[in-house]
Structures are given as C-alpha cells and as structure tokens.
Amino acid sequence: MLRAFGRTAQGHTALDEALVAQHTAGRRMLRVGMPGLVGLAFIAQASFVVLLAVGTNPALGGSLETAELIALLVLAARFVEPVLLTSELGGAIRVAENALTEINELLDTETLPEPRTPRRADGAHIELDGVRFGYHGSPVLDGLTMRVPQGRMTALVGPSGAGKTTVIRLIARFFDPDAGTVRVGGVDVREMRTEDLTSVISVVFQDVHLFDGTILENVRLGRPDATDEEVYAAARTARVDQIADRLPGGWDAPVGEGGNRLSGGERRRVSIARALLKDTPIVLFDEATAALDAENEHALQQAMSALARNRTVLVIAHRLNTLRGADHIVVLDEGRVVEEGDHTDLMARNGRCAHFWRERRRAQGWRLAAPAAVR
C-alpha cells in the first residue's frame, strides 16, 4: 500500500497514529453498544428458559396438555426472534442518528456574509497578507504572507498539515480567515459576491466527486450553458475521449455513483475537463498523491499543461514533474512560508525543497530486493 501511494520514503508515524486512533474508536464503540445488545439478548433468552421451566412443571402434573406447552414454546420462540432483531435495529438507529446529527450541523452552518457594495477582481493575481486560520481552535496558518503572480504556475510544497489545502480553501472562500486578508485580483474576497468569485476561479480537488450521470453530463457541470461542441472540445483536451472510447455507451456511458466506474486518474481527467470548460483565469489544483498508471499519468500531464496555459495556477505539488515545471515554488511549514523561489534556486540552497525533492526521488526509485537464493 505504501509503495503504491509513493509514501515509502517517509516515516510510518502517521500510519501508526491513524491505526491506533481507529482501534481506540472501535473499542469505544463496542464498550458503548455491547452492554445494551448483550443485556437485551440475555433477557430474551432468559425469558424463554424461564417459560420452559415454568411450563414443564404443569405439563408433568397434567394440568397443562403437552400440545399446549409446545404451542406456547413455539410462540415464545417466535417472540424472541423479533426482540433480538430489535437489538440489532437499535445499533442501526444509533448510526442513523449520528449521521442525521452531522447533516443537521451542516445545514445549521451559517453562510458566509455577502458584501453590501461588492467589487470585482481586477486581474488574476492572488495575495495572502498576514493570514491566520485554524480549525476548531487548532491553528493551521500562522501569519501567512505569499503572492501568486498572474499568468504563472506557482507550486505549493510542504509536509502534511503545513496548511497547503487550507490556502486553497481560503482563496476559494470556503472559509474566512481569522485574521489577515486574502485578495484575488487586488480585491479582498470578502468584498466579492460568491458568484463573482467563482466566475474567476476553478478548483480541481484531490478527491474528485462525480455525479451519477453520464460522462458528458459530468463534464458539462463546468459550464451548463456551454454548447455540445465546447463540451466535447474541453473533454478531448483533457483526454476524456479515451475514457468514452473504452466504455460501452461512449459519451453517454454512466460513471456510477461518485464515479465508481472510473479509476482515480480517469475521474481527475473529467474534473480537469470541467475546469477547461469553465475557462476561468485562475485555477486552484490539488494534485493527487496516489500513484497512477502510465496511461493516466501521461494523459493528466497533458491535460494539466493545457489547463495551465495562459492562466494563473496554484498547485499543491506532489510530483517531481510539477515542481520542475513550476515558475515559482512556495514551501510551507507550520503555517508559514519557509522558502520560495524557482526550482534551480531552491535546489542550490539545499533547504526544505531540496530535501523534499530527494525524498520523492528516493520514493520513486524504491525497488523490491530480489529474493536470496535458497540453499
């Protein structure tokens, strides 16, 4: 698994912590749920045993016919089964209640305020000045200041938890910063209407979600009023036509719920096609960490090159080719910029970016050793 996802050069601390957390959560769930389930099952079975003991005595004494006792026990056994089923339903109901609670929390979340006197972006450059932000009291960005020049590709690099994804979310205004300012085209995003901001920004997420429709319908979501010719052109540029040629039904082939009929690389191609169709001057791209097959890797590189042409691109980089091709690289750590420059400069400094580069090279070059000869 680690080899497949290109993470072999890094430590296993995060994996160990995740496994321990999952184990702890599972034990906690069992401690909470098992006493009730076991207790209800015990009561149901004990009631049947008591009824058997109480009914046997009258039957032996002749006051209760054997046939009547058997009928009574059959009815009791039939009663025990739904009681046990009820205990199972209780667990399912608790799971449903938890899901509904999460949905209600989402629905109750207040929308971000809209400006009374909105402004429009003047250009496609991005600025973050003294930005502070955290989730549930845990700080992620600590006075972050950075620039993304117009018409160039800027790569964000840093360890997990450095705040890379948070930067993209703040630029797209999924949240407002706790302090500082995020500007797009020289305008504070809080002074822009949501529709004006989204009209200049496209976001390609790492985890791509497709709707349960056809390939063509999912691409068209980028710009619903686009003509068929424009949709096909964007899809071909992102090499989605290769996917359509492979699937029965072609462009009208259903992708399945969440795009489960497509591979991860194919889903990303559809997502890039959406961004190409939307045709915004700014693209925020969260590159996938997972390893891809050669065909998808090549197709995605071509699609990414087409998407970056004449646009301002901010990409969370996980691949060496992306770093090498970026005009500017910003290295984050603990919510701050620790290095920035072009690839040549950062390699010469032999700092964080150079260390990241060596680690990725080591991960890509990792090989299974040949088994020793058996003597």
Kindly report, residue by residue over 229-270, the tens digit of the pLDDT.
Answer: 999 999 999 888 888 898 888 889 888 888 888 888 888 889
Asked whether the CA dihedral 227, 230, 235, 241 is positive or negative, the reply is: positive
Q: Is the pLDDT of residue 58 over 70?
A: no
Q: Are 12 and 18 in contact (CB under 8 A)?
A: no
Q: What are phi and psi of 340, to 5 degrees?
A: -160, 155
Give the per-residue pLDDT at 374. 43
Cα distances from 347 to residues 96, 148, 162, 328, 365, in angstroms, run 52, 20, 20, 13, 19
Find all residues with CB under 8 Å of 60, minimum gap 6, and list them. Answer: none
Lowest mean pLDDT among 13-17, 83-87, 101-105, 141-145: 13-17
Longest C-alpha distance within the chain, in Å? Answer: 101
Q: Is the pLDDT of residue 140 over 60?
A: yes
Mean pLDDT of the chain: 79
Query: What is the reported pTM?
Result: 0.70
Q: Are 169 and 203 in contact (CB under 8 A)?
A: no
Q: Is the pLDDT of residue 47 over 80?
A: no
pLDDT tens-digit profile of 184-204? 999 999 999 988 998 899 988
Q: Where does the pLDDT of residue 11 fall: very low under 50, low under 70, confident under 90, or very high at 90 and above? A: very low
Residues 46-61 have a mean pLDDT of 65
Q: Are 316 and 168 in contact (CB under 8 A)?
A: yes
Give the per-residue pLDDT at 46. 72
Q: Is the pLDDT of residue 364 over 50?
A: yes
Give the per-residue pLDDT at 111. 78
